[in-house]
Amino acid sequence: MQARFKIEFPPTVNHIWKRGKGRTYLTKQGREWYARQVVLLQQQLQDQAWEGSCARVAVRIDLHAPNKRKWDIDNRTKCVFDALVKAGVLKDDELIDDLRVVRGEVDPEKKGFALVAVGVLL
């Protein structure tokens, strides 16, 4: 069983989370990005027969940046995992046992996006 999703290009963890006054908090940019992704993921989830939210899973993320600027591939994954959990695709990102992240071609539309495949491990 596998589900596939397309979401916006994820921001870096540094743009989602900030530290201040002795605490870590979600930024306005982070709250807005997550809200949009939850809507996108839930819409796409309705069209698929996905029932693996509590199963051990493999995840593949293909990242297509909006431009040719340098960026760290590992700094984008946590936002994707959290969006999958917030949308109900996964119960917890602790369920991910197998992960592959691929740097794809630059988005010709200059918006950037991520293709996410989630499959149940047998």
3-state secondary structure 12-70: CHHHHEEEECCEEEECHHHHHHHHHHHHHHHHHHHCCCCCCCCCCEEEEEEEECCCCCC
Average confidence (pLDDT) over 61-66 = 98
Asked whether the beta carbons of 13 and 72 are under 8 A apart, the reply is: no
- Model confidence pLDDT, tens digit, residues 4-42: 999 999 998 888 888 888 898 889 999 999 999 999 999
Calculate what percentage of the chain has a pLDDT beyond 70: 100
Average pLDDT, the chain: 94
Q: What is the pLDDT, as a whole number, of residue 5?
A: 98
CATH assignment of 2-120? Answer: 3.30.1330.70
Q: Beta partners for 26?
A: 17
- Tokens 């047998």, residue located: 122
- For 96-112, letters b (16+ CB in 10 Å) and e give beeeeeeeeeeeeeeeb
Q: What is the pLDDT, as a whole number, of residue 4?
A: 97
| Residue 8, token pair as written in the block | 């916006």
pTM over 0.85: yes
Task: State the Cα–Cα distance between residues 9 and 57, nearest whole angstrom.
Answer: 22
The torsion angles phi and psi of 51, rounded to 5 degrees, stand at: -130, 25
Q: Beta partners for 63?
A: 103, 114
pLDDT above 90: residue 105: yes
Between 16-30, 80-94, 98-112, the lowest mean confidence (pLDDT) is in: 16-30
pLDDT above 90: residue 76: yes
Q: Beta partners for 64?
A: 113
Asked whether the beta carbons of 115 and 66 are under 8 A apart, the reply is: no
